[in-house]
Amino acid sequence: MTHGSALSNYVLPTYTSAQQTGCPVSSWEVSSSNNGQNNAITAMASLSAVTDSGANKVVFPTNNALHQLYTFFTKITADGGSNAYFGAYNLYVGCFTGSVEYADNAAFDVDLPLWVGDPTANVYTMPLPTSTRSWCSIQSNAIVNNDATGTTWTGAAKLVACASQPCNVWSLVDTINVETIYFKIKTTWTNSMTHLSQVATITITCNNNYALSTSGVVPNAYQVYTHGDASVGYDLPTY
């Protein structure tokens, strides 16, 4: 259920007795355990009493700001004293392991090819990962090491850290050298839940259309040396 919302409630099923017309269900109680027919409930301070909500009977957390699972039973009693326990029921509130799943976006870019000398600004864009709970929102995205747990990036910086979060676009420090950069992206969600992406690479290689030129002092188009002197030759310019 939505964390921190008045909608964070569990809608109970409809209970009836075998003689519902003459001896209808008249009592709904919440218990932390199934204590067996004719036995008293075990009260739960974390959940409300059964409450009317329109045509439904509902149970909700006494503190809906918590991220957690509430497991409970109901004791249902009809006029005359017939009773039975039902459940267990699970009420998931907020974002935590078991209540939500995260996944890479289907468009996640696992390999970005670049040329040496390409622009460095806003090079890598990560399509945002997905969550099975709309109320679990992304708080931050960070470039991390390519290891099993996504440890904090070590070594020389390759991608420029974001100025503000959450972000999903990164610039490169430079594209001067031929290299392959391996990394993962750790996404932090509501309640400090995290998702670690698959491995991504940025591969920087040499292009075949660079302009070539000479530098320094260009020698004369011809050079004169002593005939028969094997120690001399044509001095080429620097390219």
In tens, the pLDDT along 20-78 reads 999 999 999 999 999 999 999 999 999 999 999 999 999 999 998 889 899 999 999 99
Residue 98 confidence (pLDDT): 80
Residue 225 confidence (pLDDT): 61
Residue 188 confidence (pLDDT): 96
Cross-strand pairs, 86: 74
Higher pLDDT, 8 or 100: 100
Residue 228 confidence (pLDDT): 64
What digits encode the pLDDT tens for the residues 226-235? 666 666 666 6
Q: What is the mean pLDDT of residues 144-156?
A: 95
* Segments making up each domain of the chain, as ranges: 10-93, 102-205
What digits encode the pLDDT tens for the residues 203-223? 999 999 888 888 766 666 655
Residue 6 confidence (pLDDT): 44
Q: What is the mean pLDDT of residues 86-98?
A: 90
Q: Is 76 exposed, middle or buried (0-12, 13-18, 19+ CB in 10 A)?
A: buried
- pLDDT band per the 50, 70, 90 thresholds, residue 123: very high
Q: What are phi and psi of 52, to 5 degrees?
A: -75, 135
Q: Report whether pLDDT(4) > 50.
A: no
Which CATH number applies to 102-205? 2.60.40.60
Query: Measured on CA atoms in the order 51, 54, 55, 60, is the torsion positive or negative?
Result: negative
For residues 70 and 64, give the distance between their C-alpha atoms in angstroms, rounded to a whole number.
11
Residue 57 confidence (pLDDT): 95
Residue 85 confidence (pLDDT): 98
Q: Is 201 exposed, middle or buried (0-12, 13-18, 19+ CB in 10 A)?
A: middle
For residues 180 and 132, give the distance between their C-alpha atoms in angstroms, rounded to a whole number.
33
* Portion of the chain with pLDDT greater than 70, in percent: 89
Cross-strand pairs, 144: 152, 184
Distance spanning both ends of the chain, measured CA to CA = 67
Residues 6+ apart with CB under 8 A from 148: none
- pLDDT band per the 50, 70, 90 thresholds, residue 3: very low
Q: Report whether pLDDT(167) > 80.
A: yes
Residue 222 confidence (pLDDT): 59
- pLDDT band per the 50, 70, 90 thresholds, residue 88: very high
Task: Indicate left, alpha or beta for 36 from its phi (over 0: left) and psi (-120 to 50: alpha).
Answer: left
Structure tokens at 196: 């670690």
